[in-house]
A and B are shown apart, each in its own frame.
Chain A
Amino acid sequence: MVLNATSDQESGNWPPVDISVQGLAVSFGQARYALTGVDLSVRRGEFVALIGASGCGKTTLLNVIAGLVPAAAGTVTVGGAPPAAGRADICYVLARDALLPWRTVTGNVEYGLELSGIGREERARKAASYIEKVGLLAARDLYPSRLSQGMRQRVSLARAFAVGRSLYLMDEPFSALDSQTKLVLHDHLLGLWESSGTTVVFVTHDIGEAITLADRVLVMSKMGTGVVDEIRVDLARPRSAEALQADAHYHDLYRRTWMSLKASAQ
């Protein structure tokens, strides 16, 4: 029985590993390593949050996975292949919304689809459906200069999820928002992710955000040696960012993560 359970875990029942990072080192110039000996594995369909003090290399790690920064040592595979920028199965969401100012909301959501080679009709249909999902139907013909920060980030999320890729890498996409708007955006992101079944690696310095969104929160060392602690977030899904604010277990996890983050910075 016990043996069976173990072999079950190791073979069939768990989804396969989507991202595998082993012994990764990254250097900017020769003087010092930004990251050394970093290990990470993320399973398919998992939502993982990376947190850590600023300068701990969390964005660098994300950029290695995205193929934007080369590894100096170690192996990195994403979906079984080495990382490369512009791969057709990866979508990277930047900290800034990066909307094209000369395109309307619809035009911006269609942009990602256009670059992915989707035909005109399907583009229009998908864009409309994702604009509706983030609650921006009424604003679909407006230019970005007329939108609030929160609305702009919602357009950015719609653009990202409309292309339907299997891995989403997000680099603090909500860091410029106020805490109320953040909660709204968390619900939009959870909604988009839960209906898509994709893998997400989400970089943030906001503990509440990490716990609200992720299945696992990985705490990174300030020394650039990678993941030092892991907090499993066993909050039921579907989650509501607002309801979690009054959830005792959420606050337990928050406290635990905060202690871990504090320890990692020393």
Chain B
Amino acid sequence: MTNIANSEANLGAAVRSSGGRSILVARALFLAAILATWQGAVAAGLASAAFISTPAGVAQSLWHLFKHGEVLPDLGTTVLEIVIAFALSVVFGIATAVVLDRNDWLNRIVSPFLTAFNSMPRIALGPLFVLWFGIGIASKVVLAFSLGYFIMLLSTLGGLKNVDRDLLLMSRLFGASELRLFRHVRFPWALPSIFAGLKLTLIYCSAGAVIGEMIAAKSGLGVLLQSFSGRFDVAGVLALILIVALLVMALTSLLDLAERRLLEWTKGSTDVP
């Protein structure tokens, strides 16, 4: 039995490692094809560099942004806003979900209000947040938090609500306290949903922070975005968007790393086609 299990595991690992290099090569080719098409379209006169810039132009803008470290204070502001909003969303989102899961009465009272607030276009509230919280980082944190909090709350609550009743019953019959039920059953059960929520929350928090800066701010990548688009500097705008995308990808890969370690058990022996 273990021999079979082991050889299965080895087979999987072998496929992954030998497949790993060819996947990387394929990805590089895919990227090269996109960039070549882009550059080629402009060179052939099919599109104007004034509207879509060129890969070389974006690379040049990136180089200018980082050459003397000019972008770093703005990048720092945006990263700070994202990190604060993400941390607040995670802490308060999970805490609220735990309270609402254990308190059905409260859940039934507040859930329409939560749905109503979550249905509002928060971006449209951005100018109000600036009015209420000023043009510093507070208004951006609030805007990003107003997006991230609900994602974290709803995904955690969804995970907690569908916990396997038999696991709870079994644990209770073995004498588990409420605290242990949470630690050993409810929380691990909700963990996959929590991780799905974390990744979405990160994306929405960074969007909230950058858009908040574009409305009104003293510093941040959003401020630079506004000034570049005001000057029709397409390459500069794309370079900044690329910076945000790479930043979110880097943070997401940290989450993936944690997820792979914590959710090792979700890998079944059979792959569903």
A interface list, Cβ under 8 A from B: 66, 85-88, 90-92, 94, 96, 98, 100-103, 111-112, 115-116, 138-139, 142-143, 145-146, 151, 163
Contact partner of A145 among B1, B173, B265, CB < 8 A?
B265
Question: Which of B127-135, B174-182, B235-243 lies at the interface?
Answer: B174-182
Determine if B172 is an interface residue (Cβ-Cβ < 8 Å): yes
In angstroms, Cα B169 to Cα A94, docked, is 9
In angstroms, Cα B163 to Cα A98, docked, is 12
Set of chain B residues within 8 Å of A163, measured between Cβ atoms: 174
Set of chain B residues within 8 Å of A86, measured between Cβ atoms: 172-176
Leading 7 A-B pairs by shortest Cβ distance: A98-B170, A115-B174, A138-B2, A145-B268, A98-B166, A102-B265, A92-B173
**CB pair B169 A143 closer than 8 Å:** no
Interface string of B246-273 (1 = CB under 8 A from A): 0000000000000000001111110000
In angstroms, Cα B266 to Cα A96, docked, is 19
Set of chain B residues within 8 Å of A112, measured between Cβ atoms: 174
Cβ contacts A to B, 18 pairs, < 8 Å = A86-B175, A90-B173, A91-B173, A94-B169, A98-B169, A100-B184, A102-B188, A102-B191, A111-B184, A115-B171, A115-B175, A115-B176, A116-B175, A143-B265, A143-B267, A145-B267, A146-B5, A146-B268
Q: What's the least CB distance linking A124 to chain B, in Å?
A: 17
Chain A residue with Cβ nearest B167: A98
**CB pair A66 B173 closer than 8 Å:** yes
In angstroms, Cα B265 to Cα A143, docked, is 6
Chain B residue with Cβ nearest A90: B173
**What secondary structure prevails in chain B residues at the interface with A?**
helix
Chain A residue with Cβ nearest B170: A98
**CB pair B175 A88 closer than 8 Å:** yes
Set of chain B residues within 8 Å of A145, measured between Cβ atoms: 265-269
In angstroms, Cα B173 to Cα A92, docked, is 7
Interface string of B174-212 (1 = CB under 8 A from A): 111000100011001001000000000000000000000
Set of chain B residues within 8 Å of A103, measured between Cβ atoms: 265
Q: What's the least CB distance linking B159 to chain A, in Å?
A: 13
Given contacts A116-B174, A142-B5, contact A100 B188 (CB under 8 A): yes
Set of chain A residues within 8 Å of B267, measured between Cβ atoms: 143, 145
In angstroms, Cα B185 to Cα A87, docked, is 20
**CB pair B1 A139 closer than 8 Å:** yes
Chain B residue with Cβ nearest A160: B174
Set of chain A residues within 8 Å of B2, measured between Cβ atoms: 138-139, 142
Q: What's the least CB distance linking B170 to chain A, in Å?
A: 4
Set of chain B residues within 8 Å of A146, measured between Cβ atoms: 5, 268-269
Interface string of B1-32 (1 = CB under 8 A from A): 11001000000000000000000000000000
Q: What's the least CB distance linking A170 to chain B, in Å?
A: 12
**CB pair B166 A139 closer than 8 Å:** no
Contact partner of B167 among A90, A100, A143, CB < 8 A?
A100
In angstroms, Cα B244 to Cα A238, docked, is 71
Set of chain A residues within 8 Å of B188, measured between Cβ atoms: 100, 102
**CB pair B173 A85 closer than 8 Å:** yes
Set of chain A residues within 8 Å of B268, measured between Cβ atoms: 145-146
Q: Which of B94-133 contact A (CB under 8 A)?
A: none
Chain A residue with Cβ nearest B264: A143
Q: A86-B174, A91-B174 are in contact. List 6 more A-B contacts (CB 8 A).
A: A100-B185, A101-B266, A102-B188, A115-B180, A138-B1, A145-B265
Set of chain B residues within 8 Å of A96, measured between Cβ atoms: 166
Q: What's the least CB distance linking B142 to chain A, in Å?
A: 36
Set of chain B residues within 8 Å of A90, measured between Cβ atoms: 173
Set of chain A residues within 8 Å of B169, measured between Cβ atoms: 94, 98
In angstroms, Cα B180 to Cα A234, docked, is 44
Q: What's the least CB distance linking B261 to chain A, in Å?
A: 12
Chain B residue with Cβ nearest A135: B1
In angstroms, Cα B174 to Cα A88, docked, is 8
Set of chain B residues within 8 Å of A94, measured between Cβ atoms: 166, 169-170
Quick one: which of A88, A90, A143 has the most chain B CB within 10 A? A143
Set of chain B residues within 8 Å of A142, measured between Cβ atoms: 2, 5
